[in-house]
Amino acid sequence: MPAVALVQSVVMRQAYAAVLPSEALSQLEPPALAAVWRRSLAEPPTRDHVLLVACAREQVVGFAALGPSGDPDAGPGTVELLVLGVHPDARRQGHGSRLLHAVADTARGRDRDELTAWLLASDEAGGAFLRAAGFGPDGASRSRVVSPDGTTVTEVRLVARLGEPPDAAEGA
Q: What one-character-per-residue DSSP string does 85-133 give?
A: EE-GGGTTSSHHHHHHHHHHHHHHHTT--EEEEEEETT-HHHHHHHHHT
Any domain includes 147: yes
Any domain includes 172: no
Any domain includes 113: yes
Task: Determine the pLDDT at residue 172.
Answer: 46
Residues whose CB falls within 8 Å of the CB of residue 60, separated by 6 or more in sequence, listed in order: 3, 4, 6, 7, 53, 54
Any domain includes 140: yes
Band of pLDDT at residue 170, cut at 50, 70 and 90: very low
Any domain includes 123: yes
With beta carbons less than 8 A apart as the criterion, state whether 151 and 20 touch: yes
Provide the sign of the torsion angle of the four alpha carbons 29, 127, 118, 166, taken in this order. Answer: negative
With beta carbons less than 8 A apart as the criterion, state whether 67 and 46 touch: yes
Task: Determine the pLDDT at residue 16.
Answer: 82
With beta carbons less than 8 A apart as the criterion, state whether 120 and 155 touch: yes
Global pTM reads: 0.87
Any domain includes 150: yes
Any domain includes 65: yes
Give CA–CA dist 102/64, Å, rounded.
Answer: 9
pLDDT in tens, 120-156: 999 898 999 999 999 999 999 999 888 778 888 899 9
Any domain includes 81: yes
Give CA–CA dist 150/166, Å, rounded.
Answer: 36
Domain count, the chain: 1
Band of pLDDT at residue 171, cut at 50, 70 and 90: very low
Band of pLDDT at residue 168, cut at 50, 70 and 90: very low
Query: How high does pLDDT run on average in the chain?
Result: 89
- Domain span at residue 93 reads 45-161
Give CA–CA dist 15/123, Å, rounded.
Answer: 8
Q: What is the CATH number of the domain that holds 81?
A: 3.40.630.30
Higher pLDDT, 134 or 22: 134
Find how far residue 145's CA is from the centre of its chain: 17
